[in-house]
Structure 1
Amino acid sequence: MTTAPSKAPDKAAAAADRPHDDDERPGVRGQVVAVIGLLDRPLTSYYLVLGCSVLLLTLGLTMVLSASSVKQLQATGSAFTLLQKQAMWVGIGLPLMWLAARLAPKAFRALAYPLLLLSVLALVLVLVPGLGQTAGGATRWLRFGGGFQLQPSEPAKLGLVLWAADLLARKEKLRQLNEWRQLLMPLLPGTGLVVLLVMLGNDLGTTLVLLTIFLAVLWVVGAPARLFVGITGLIGVLVAILIVVEPYRMRRLTGFLDPTGDPLKDNYQGLQGLFAVASGGWFGTGLGEGRAKWQYLPHSETDFIFAIIGEELGLVGTLVVLGLFGLLAYAGLRIARRVKDPFMRLAAAGVTAWVVVQAIVNIGAVIGVLPITGIPLPLVSYGGSALIPTLIALGMLLSFAKREPGARQALAARGPGPVRRALSWLGLARR
């Protein structure tokens, strides 16, 4: 009696030839571990801040040219007028950023009080009739000769960050943060003075950013939950009062709640911004090929430059911008978490809150999820008053990132940078 040959060995061999899930998982797991390891390197924060800043600056220069070319060609005969001015501000800001990245924390602490005092003085001058310039319903500019003008509320953000961080770091060192009075005095009156001066100029957007910095340092320093919630509630009431007492802000709020109402006046800018973003589709109309800048969208190179990005670069372009700001937020919070010095921790958190919240408010206004406040998109929108303090603040983050655990050793192991190598090749520096 013969038996049929068994097929079990063939099945076993075939099963052995097929890749198992267990064989595949180590590869995927290894890739995940590699990515996590890359993010956990000592200089990760440094390179993220530097890379995101440079990419956003480059995108900003490109989009300022695209957004302003038509209007400037008609007004001045050259499409490059605002690009040249913005490039000049970048040329001033980048060396200041490089210098800030090389300063020690004690240098920033020394600058805290003078910078805040000068900012307060400039904010007072803005309110003097004949000196302050009004635009868009807000009095926030000091105009000098030769077309040069300054918005003092922008350096005031940096001054408030440094002053608040230095003040709370000193109190923490002296163990004076156990009571709410010690926590809020004189932080609350000092912040209130700066906020009051900005509010008197009807600049609600900058007021919100200043209050965000105040809340950020309170959170990081470890304010009690009840105190933090109470102050947040008071700020909400204050903002509501500011909106109600000013007719144009109330019109913006009602326009935000009813976007289709009054499309040719109060809602015109918001609707045109939404049309620009929506018309971009996935990949946009092409760089320089947008239609909104042809006298359809007001302030397309400043407050609504994100709409031009959405129109010309599409959803992909907007997601890149969001990703860059997301990475910048991650890097800033990573620095605040890893540094040991209380001043660096508080200052890093304050700068991160300032830049990221300002970006969220600007983008939210363009896409219609937040009311229009008139604040620029950091590093991207046109304007030197906002750009230079932001670059200095990011340079300070770079300085702090070099003081994370293991960062100094990693920098030393990296060897001389390209500038020093080039100088050594030319015989201008020691090898």
Structure 2
Amino acid sequence: MRRAGRPGVRELWRRPGTPYLVLVGSCTLLTVFGLMMVFSASQVQALSHGHGSAFYFRKQLLAAAAGAVLLVAAMRAPVRLHRKAVYPVLGTAVVLLCLVQVPGLGQTVNGSTNWLSLGGSFQLQPSEFAKVALVLWGADLIARKESHRLLTSVRHLLLPLVPGALLLLGLVLIGGDMGTALILCCVLFSLLWTAGTPARVFGWALAAAALACVALVATTAYRAARLSCVGAVDPGPDDQCWQAVHGLYAFADGGLFGRGLGASMEKWGQLPEPHTDFVLAITGEETGLVGTLTVLALYALLLAAGLAVAARTGDTFVRLTAVGVTTWIAAQSTINIGGALGLLPISGVPLPLFSYGGSALIAALFGAGLLLSLARSQGTTVTAPRRGKRTGRGGKSPGDGGRRTGGKRTAR
């Protein structure tokens, strides 16, 4: 039973500063927990490649520091500054995606050419920043069209947004990164849906996307092999489902509370890519069902806060950007988690804010900074409930910055 005078969960959630605080907390905890699990999951992999045990952890920590700087910069930047940066961000993303295909600059890893070598052991994956570019450009484009009352026409809803998105998709698919292409499709659909695109358009779009996916899978042997491993419970002929099955073994071996941090057995060569694609499986093995559900709960809070930011604004750009970033994180998390659980094909998509991958972590932290900036634009002051007499001029308690009408807070 809730004590009189104390706010309930609903009242706390409705406060203007709650989404901001939830975003800060969930992003921080996911990043810190992710760094810890990357360190644990990558030690054996690093030693097997002739590096020190903390090799991958140090690189991820450096990316987290760079991402944190971008997060703070994005968070403190006003919304109008983000809108001014739309075309520079889009142009930079397109140029980087093109440079990936230049011989000598692009680097192929696991069959996909999606990296730029920065010298030494550092690489940049431009497709991660294509997500940011599509969100910002799409939100700004639709918002400007709405301000001119052009969204009553389907043609204005689709042009030039869809051709621009297809350009990004094509550049990503040339490198062989189907997972990122799916995420970009989800972001595009979310922007169009939020803008009020008729349902019949989505019917045709989904049909075309399904045909494209079938063609991509049918013409590429390794994609067909990955699809055949969905739901597999044994490695199969030639051990083609080895990775998917051993991911399930890791979850099963963890039980309720796990084997303990650092005590995973699967990371000792049984489970390939334990610190990237399957870091959640190692988390489940070492921290058990409790640790896995904690990670899922943090993602649920992050996504709920992102949608709350979108729902509480009357600004079209803010709403679309919040929906776009939230969809990006939700789609990427779903694809990674589904692959680790054997429910979806393994795609090589990193778990945002959590698994190893410097470019992915930097881009995700910048996306989180965007959400925080949007939340700040709505006000982030969390006031305590009133107790006793109100003091001060105008009948307001000290620190109460809003005007009251009939005992309720009204927006400024």
TM over 0.5: yes
- CA distance 1:58–1:261, shift in 2 (3 Å): closer
CA distance in 1, matches of 2:203, 2:133: 25
The Cα shift of 1:408 comes to 5.6
Matched, 1:355 2:329: yes
Q: Secondary structure at the match of 2:336?
A: helix
The Cα shift of 1:72 comes to 1.8
Match of 1:92 among 53, 60, 66: 66
Match of 1:208 among 159, 162, 182: 182
Q: 1:103–1:399: 8 Å Cα contact kept in structure 2?
A: yes
Match of 2:274 among 288, 300, 306: 300
Q: 2:127–2:180: 8 Å Cα contact kept in structure 1?
A: yes
Which residue does 1:78 correspond to in 2? 52
Matched, 1:125 2:125: no
Question: Aligned pair count?
Answer: 388
TM-score, normalised to structure 2, is 0.90
Which residue does 1:69 correspond to in 2? 43
Q: 1:153–1:198: 8 Å Cα contact kept in structure 2?
A: yes
- CA distance 1:409–1:330, shift in 2 (3 Å): closer
CA distance in 2, matches of 1:258, 1:149: 33
Q: How does 1:304-315 map to 2 (within 5 A)?
A: 304-315=278-289
Match of 1:270 among 235, 244, 257: 244
The Cα shift of 1:350 comes to 0.2
Which residue does 1:341 correspond to in 2? 315
Matched, 1:288 2:262: yes
Match of 2:360 among 371, 386, 396: 386
Q: 1:278–1:311: 8 Å Cα contact kept in structure 2?
A: yes
Match of 1:252 among 226, 237, 247: 226
Matched, 1:376 2:376: no
Instruction: Kindly provide the CA deviation profile for residues 192-240 of structure 1, in whole angstroms up to 9, marking residues without a partner as x.
Output: 0000111111111000000010011011111111112321222222122
- CA distance 1:342–1:264, shift in 2 (3 Å): same
Match of 2:377 among 394, 403, 424: 403
Q: Secondary structure at the match of 1:386?
A: helix
TM-score, normalised to structure 1, is 0.86
Give the counterpart letter for 2:320 in structure 1. L
Instruction: Kindly provide the CA deviation profile for residues 58-114 of structure 1, in whole angstroms up to 9, marking residues without a partner as x.
Output: 111100110011222343452111111111111111121011111011111111111
CA distance in 1, matches of 2:237, 2:307: 41
The Cα shift of 1:147 comes to 2.2
Matched, 1:152 2:130: no
- CA distance 1:395–1:38, shift in 2 (3 Å): same
Which residue does 1:4 correspond to in 2? none
- Segments of 5+ residues of structure 2 without an aligned counterpart are 385-397, 402-412
Q: Secondary structure at the match of 1:146?
A: coil
Q: 1:339–1:400: 8 Å Cα contact kept in structure 2?
A: no
Q: Secondary structure at the match of 1:142?
A: strand
Q: Which has the larger radius of gyration?
A: 1
CA distance in 2, matches of 1:408, 1:59: 28
Q: Secondary structure at the match of 1:133?
A: strand
Q: 1:263–1:271: 8 Å Cα contact kept in structure 2?
A: no
Instruction: Kindly provide the CA deviation profile for residues 32-51 of structure 1, in whole angstroms up to 9, marking residues without a partner as x.
Output: 96111111111010011100
Which residue does 1:7 correspond to in 2? none
- Segments of 5+ residues of structure 1 without an aligned counterpart are 1-26, 416-431
Match of 1:41 among 15, 19, 23: 15
Greater share of helix:
1
CA distance in 1, matches of 2:109, 2:366: 26
CA distance in 2, matches of 1:368, 1:56: 22
Match of 1:191 among 162, 165, 168: 165
Q: How does 1:158-197 map to 2 (within 5 A)?
A: 158-197=132-171
Percent sequence identity over aligned pairs: 45
CA distance in 2, matches of 1:74, 1:303: 18
The Cα shift of 1:28 comes to 5.9
- CA distance 1:42–1:70, shift in 2 (3 Å): same
Give the counterpart letter for 1:300 in structure 2. P
Q: 1:52–1:328: 8 Å Cα contact kept in structure 2?
A: yes
CA distance in 1, matches of 2:5, 2:291: 27
The worse-fitting range, judged by mean Cα deviation, of 84-93 and 127-136 is 127-136
Calculate the aligned-residue CA RMSD, in Å. Answer: 2.1
Give the counterpart letter for 1:135 in structure 2. V
Which residue does 1:138 correspond to in 2? 112
Q: 1:335–1:348: 8 Å Cα contact kept in structure 2?
A: yes
CA distance in 1, matches of 2:250, 2:376: 41
Which residue does 1:231 correspond to in 2? 205
